Each structure stands twice: as C-alpha cells, then as structure tokens.
Chain A
Amino acid sequence: MTAKLRSSLLAPALAIGFSALLCAIALLVSGSNPASALGVMIGQVGEGQVAVDIVNSTAIYMLAALAAAIGFQMNLLNIGVEGQYRIGALVAAIVGSWLVLPPVLHWLVILLVAMLAGALWALIPAVLKVTRGVHEVLSTIMMNGIAFGLAAFLISQDRFGELVGNNISTEPIPESGQVPNVDLGDRGQIFGLVLLAVVAAAVYGLVLHRTRFGFELRASGESPTAAAAGGVNAKKMIMIALLTSGAVAGLVGMPEILGRDHAYTLNFPANYGFAGLGIALLGRNHPVGIAFGALLWAFLDKSKVALDNVGVPREIATIMQGAIVLSVVVAYEIVKRMDRAAEQQRVGRAMGTVEPVAADSGSAK
C-alpha cells in the first residue's frame, strides 16, 4: 500500500518539480528573479480575497475535471466539456429565471436543468459514436463550435438576452434560485456550491470503486474485448459514460451563476472545459488527485494577476500549467516502468530463494 501511494505521489511531484524548473529557467531568460516570483505567488494567497477565490475556482475546476474523468475512465476523450458547460449554464440561467419555486427546490431544479442540458449536448456525439462509430474527439470538438454559436444566438436581444449598458444578460434568477454563499467579510464569499463539487467527487469515487457499474466502466476502459466477454454491453456503457460526463459538465458554470452573477452574460468565462481535461490527466482520474490538481490549477490561475502586478510576465503561470500536464504524462510513464522493474526484481528474488520470505513475513507483522 505504501509503495502504491509512493508511486502515485512520485509522478505528480516529479512533474511539478520539473515544470517549476522549466519556469525558473524561462524567468531567468526573460530577466526576472524566480525566487521573488515564487514569493509573490505564495504571498498572494494572504491578500484580499485571493484565498477564497482559489477555493471557489477549485470547485469549478473539480467539476470540469470530474466530467472529463468520467469519459477518460472508459477511454472516451470528451473534448466537449467546454461546449457542454456553456450550454448547461445558459439553459439553466434562462429556465431558472422563469421559475417561481421555494428556495431549495428552485436550486435543485436549476441544477437538474443544467445537467440535462449538458447531457443533451453530449447526446449527439454519443449517438454518433454508438450508431456510426464517429470518433468522439471529432464530434465533441465540432459540438463546441456549435455551442458557442448557439449560445450567441440564444443570448441575443431578440431571444433571451436584455441589454445592460454594453453587455447582454439573461433575465436575472430570482432570489429563491440564488444559492447563499458563506460570507467571510473582507475575505470574500465562498460559493455555497463548493459543496456540490465535493459531493460530486465523493459520488464519483464511490460509484467507480464500490459499485458494479463502476467496475464495468473501468473494465470497458481497460479492455473493451475482455469487458464484452464478461457480458458488458459496450454501446450502453459508451452512452451512459458520455451522457454522465455531459451532465456533470453542465454543472461547471453553476457555482458562479447561482452564487454570484445570477445570470448568464457576455462575460461568462470560457476555457474551464479545456482546463478540466488537463486537471483530470493531472489527477489521474482519481477524485482526490483531481481535487489537488484543481487546487494547484486555481492557485496558478490566480497568481497571474499577482505576477502582473509586480511586473513579472504572467504568462509564466500559463507555461507552468502547460508544462505540468505535459510532464505529468511523462512522469507517470517513468514511474510505471520503475515500478514494473522493481516488481520484477522482487518476484525474481522471491522465486530464487526461500529464506527471505520468512524474514519478510516476520517484518511485515
């Protein structure tokens, strides 16, 4: 168990260390001091509302990464998280503004609508994949483009948008639909829906490792043929995995919309979906790994503003995000090979002699 833990921690640590080194070199080349840049990045956490912003963004990134991870588990590359969360957020904001319901019920309905809309957006690639074998990478990327267009269409003033100054916004969601935040005064407000991300991660972990469905999902990912031989309906699994992934993606925009903006506007942020793909990779699709990956990602994201403030090129944080994802893939492969070699040696030793086995079992106790 400790060996397993060590090997699963070693890879990300290697990756972070390597990318930090890369960034330090980049900073030196561009004429900045890496140590002071690091100091600024760490120091920002104590300033203003940055700590709270990091927590809030972590939750958002967790949801995006979980959406991506559900697909990854089955070797389905759902690149469409980006479009799915946009559609989910927009449709939920529109429907949420129409409804008049008591508070808690109102939230739940909005969340449900967001999930349905996200799943619906994933339905087309899923059907194409199952019936026609269209690769989901292609179809989901195309759906992202369409999602942008559809969102622009739906939010125009002739449809669901209204003009606020130079901005367009949907009708605001009434108070009953707004999820209360944890108010920390000058430190900011933690979104109530941060809890949603935690719950989602817990459910994801439980379903994946404690249910038959999760086993079938993982088995289909590991070896589709073996899973099929074991009686798993591959097409059904693809449908379920992609739709669930889309449904979770639909939730990504919810913490911000229900906790702060209370409407979908032209300023609705993009790129959460793509960040989610990287974070899922970073966290190795494990709920705890994803949580830490999201935290790191949010921390780097926020440090861009602080770096800009002291005149350090903030692109350095973007470089670091990219370098981490790239090197984590390499690091996992290296650690995997090291483990395999160690395993082979251990097996070899155990097979060769009898003596150490007794000693080993003794020490194990």
Chain B
Amino acid sequence: MRFKRGVAVTAIALTSVLSVVGCAKDSASSDNGSGNQNGAAAGCQTVDKPAAAEGKTSTTETAADVDGSKLKVGLAFDIGGRGDASFNDSAAAGLDEAIAQLGVKKENTKELTASDQESEDAKQTRLRQLATEGHNPIVSVGFAYSEAVVAVAKQFPNIKFAVVDGFAEGAPENVTFLGFAEHEGSFLVGVIAALKSESCNIGFVGGVNVPLIQKFQAGFEQGVKAVAPDATIESRYITEAGDLTGFTDAPKGQVTAKGLIDGGADVIYHAAGASGKGVFAAAHEAGVMAIGVDSDQYNQETVAEFKDVIISSMLKRVDVAVYDYISAVAANDLASLPPVFDLKVDGVGYSTTGGKIDAETQEWVESYKQQIIDGKVTVEDSPTGS
C-alpha cells in the first residue's frame, strides 16, 4: 500500500514537473503577468491583457417603495428544494429578500418541492394547489415546469406565473420566463481559471449532459481560450440526459473530478448542483483549485469543509430574478423585467469571496466583463467541440 502510494506520488510529482517545465517555456517567452504575484509558478501563456474596464456597470437598486404586503407568493421548487446549496436555494433567497424588502408576509408564502422523477401531472397538481389557494404570483424553479405552468396558467388567467430557466411555445400572457445568460458568467470564471492554472490544464464537470449545462461549458471553454488559446480543457459530464442523479450524486462528482485531476487539471469548474460537493472534495484531496456555481459557494455551509479550494464561483442570480419578478408583480410592471438576466443587469457574475482573486486577475475579468456588456465579445451558448 505504502509502495503504491509512493509510486503514485512520484508519478504525480514527475508529471507536474514535466508540465511545469513545459509551461515554463511558454511563460518565459511571454512578458504578460499571469496573475501570480510571486511569479515563481508557471502558468498558461496568455494573450495581451485587455484594456482596463471603462465605466462601472450599472448597479442601480430598484427603489424599495414597492408594496408587496398584499401578495400571496407561491414557490414551486425543483428536486432538492430549499437547502440544496444550489439554484433552489438561490430562488429561496430571492423570496426571503422579497419578504425583507417588499413587505411580503411570510405567512402568505408557500413553498412546495418536486419529488424525484415525478410525472408531468404531479407538477400540474402542485401548481394547481397553489393557484386554488389564492397564491399570486406563483414562481416555479427549473425548466421542467415549463409545460405544466403553461397548462395551469391557461386555467387561471388572473394569476401570474413565472418559470426560472423555463421556456415553452404558445405560453399565455400571464406566464413569464426568467432566463439567464449562464454562458456569460461562465466565460468570466473561464478567464479566472486560465489565469490561475499552473499546469495550463483546466477541467469542467457538468451534472447532467443537457443543453442548459452545456451553456456553462460553452462559456467556460470560450473564456479559457480567450485568455490562453493553448490551454488544455477537458469537459466531462456525470450522467447523460434523462438520468437526473448527476445533479444530486456527490460521490460520482468526486470520481469525475478526480479523473480530470489525474489527467493533470489543476482548476476545476463545476456546474453540477449538489454533486459539486464531490468535485470540491476531489479538489481538496488533490490540493488543486475549484470554481463553484450558482451561489457564492465559498460562503455555503454545506461545502464549508472544502472552502479553501474554492477560488471563485460563477453567480447565477436566481435570487435577483425571483426578487425582481415579485417586485415587478407588486408594482404591476412586468415590462420592466429584462428579457434575459445577463451580465448587463447583473443576472450573472462571479464572486471574489475568499481572497483568492488578486487585483491583477480581477482587472482582467472586469475588462472582459465590460467587453461582453458592450457587445465586443460575443459568448456562444453551446459548445463548439461536440
């Protein structure tokens, strides 16, 4: 056993030395700082640093004079519900914010959660229950609700419905779809990964291989390539479409991430919901870096034991969308909602909690952020490779 471990350690040491040497050559020929302040470690060969960001992004807070005290808000979660440390929790945070800011009364809210692999009519029944109890608006979380919401919304034309991540054709007017530009936020953490990686080998772990998660992959890969065109990126999914366990199975996430780390990756970005915990565990074990998703995972209690590996998180502000939607309903002004929650409206972004992102790196990221907002950089929303 000890011998085996010794061999493994030697092998890892050898490969890392090799890759360090390989990359060192690259960075020697490049004058660009790679964000490492000590300058000792090697990294990717980067492109020229883009010009500094001009102008601040608009952070205008919506005036809190909207009165939501009369609203009875229903929230229908996807599998996992409140406490999933992922996007259901983010939606719950949006509701909590509405309770705090808009005067929505807590006793007037109701949260229901989907069960694993339930059929379509269970979703409809859940929404119908909320509707018959007089909840208005009703926010459902997850694209799987799209069709059910459309069906139920037609029965209750006076109630307003929203679907986070949802879309369906032929939706009636009382349905709002809250979509995000996940690829734009993922681009930014891709920039971070490229600057932070020392082996110039970067990994992505997706939960389930579905178009929604492919958006994260596409943006991330593009962000890495924008900074370091020669970087190696390996993207893997825990399960294929149809098998939703990829979002809830931490051990599988750990094995998948370990595979990437064994292949030389030293920065891993995950978009795998609750399986992300396993990704962090693998990164922690191997002493490499990881990037979280959806919420600011450095601050999350469920993954607190691994937080030292989390250098940043791609923020998908479901909370902002849910809050804005409830606020817009209270003000009776749904037209004020953006068509997509993207970088421009801070619907997606990145976190710097934990102090692993130095000023140099942040300048890079801010610069790219501004370019995306200005339309100078267009981020693709589906992977080019496959």
Contact = CB atoms under 8 A, between A and B. Distances in A.
Interface of A: 47-50, 53, 56-57, 86, 148-149, 151-153, 155-157, 163-168, 186, 256, 260-261, 266-271, 301-302, 304-306, 308-309, 314
B184 to A, nearest CB: 16
Given A151-B242, A270-B242, 13 more contacts: A48-B128, A49-B128, A153-B240, A165-B165, A166-B210, A168-B241, A260-B120, A267-B144, A270-B243, A304-B118, A304-B122, A306-B129, A308-B126
A167 B143 contact: yes
B212 interface: yes
Contact of B240 (A53, A152, A269): A152
Nearest to A52: B121
A301 B144 CA distance: 19
A156 to B, nearest CB: 7
Nearest to A270: B117
Contacts of B121: 49, 53, 56-57, 302
B119 A152 contact: no
What interface size band does chain B fall in? 35 or more
B125 A49 contact: yes
A45 B321 CA distance: 35
Given A48-B125, A302-B125, A261 B168 contact: no
Contact of B242 (A49, A148, A163, A306): A148
B275 interface: no
A114 to B, nearest CB: 17
11 contacts: A152-B240, A163-B211, A164-B169, A166-B143, A166-B167, A167-B146, A260-B120, A266-B144, A271-B117, A306-B125, A308-B113
Contact of B129 (A165, A267, A305): A305
Given A49-B128, A270-B117, A308 B112 contact: yes
Contacts of A266: 144, 210, 241-242
Nearest to B237: A152
Contacts of A156: 241
Contacts of A152: 209, 240-243
Interface of B: 112-113, 115, 117-122, 124-126, 128-129, 132, 143-144, 146-147, 155, 165-169, 177, 179, 209-212, 240-243
The 6 closest A-B pairs by CB, nearest first: A165-B167, A152-B240, A166-B143, A152-B241, A166-B212, A53-B121
Centre residue among B122, B177, B209 by max chain A CB count within 10 A: B122
A261 B143 CA distance: 15
Contacts of A304: 115, 118, 122
A256 B119 contact: yes
A164 B167 contact: yes
B182 to A, nearest CB: 10
A186 B132 CA distance: 12
A308 B118 CA distance: 13
Nearest to B117: A270
Contacts of B147: 261, 267
A47 to B, nearest CB: 8
Given A165-B166, A308-B113, A268 B242 contact: yes
Contacts of B240: 148-149, 152-153
B17 to A, nearest CB: 38
Nearest to B386: A158
A149 B57 CA distance: 44
Centre residue among A50, A166, A301, A306 by max chain B CB count within 10 A: A166
Contacts of B124: 49
Nearest to A308: B112
A56 to B, nearest CB: 7
A323 B40 CA distance: 62
A260 B177 CA distance: 22
B155 A186 contact: yes
Contacts of A151: 241-242
B181 to A, nearest CB: 13
Nearest to B124: A49
Nearest to B132: A48
Nearest to A53: B121
Contacts of A153: 240
B167 A168 contact: no
Given A157-B211, A269-B118, A269-B119, A166 B125 contact: no
Contacts of A166: 143, 165-167, 210-212
Contacts of B168: 164-165
B120 A269 contact: yes
Contacts of A56: 121
A256 B167 contact: no
A305 B126 contact: yes
Nearest to B180: A166
A268 B169 CA distance: 18
Centre residue among A50, A153, A266 by max chain B CB count within 10 A: A266
Contacts of A53: 121-122, 125
B384 to A, nearest CB: 13
Nearest to B215: A166
Contacts of A164: 167-169
A8 to B, nearest CB: 30
A57 B126 CA distance: 16
Given A57-B121, A266-B242, A165 B126 contact: no
B147 to A, nearest CB: 7
Centre residue among B112, B117, B211, B212 by max chain A CB count within 10 A: B211
A267 B116 CA distance: 11
A314 B243 CA distance: 22
A305 B122 contact: yes
Contacts of B128: 48-49
A309 B112 contact: yes
A168 B129 contact: no
Nearest to B142: A166
A288 B241 CA distance: 36
B33 to A, nearest CB: 39
Contacts of B212: 166
Contacts of A167: 143-144, 146, 167, 211
A267 B120 contact: yes
Contacts of B122: 53, 301-302, 304-305
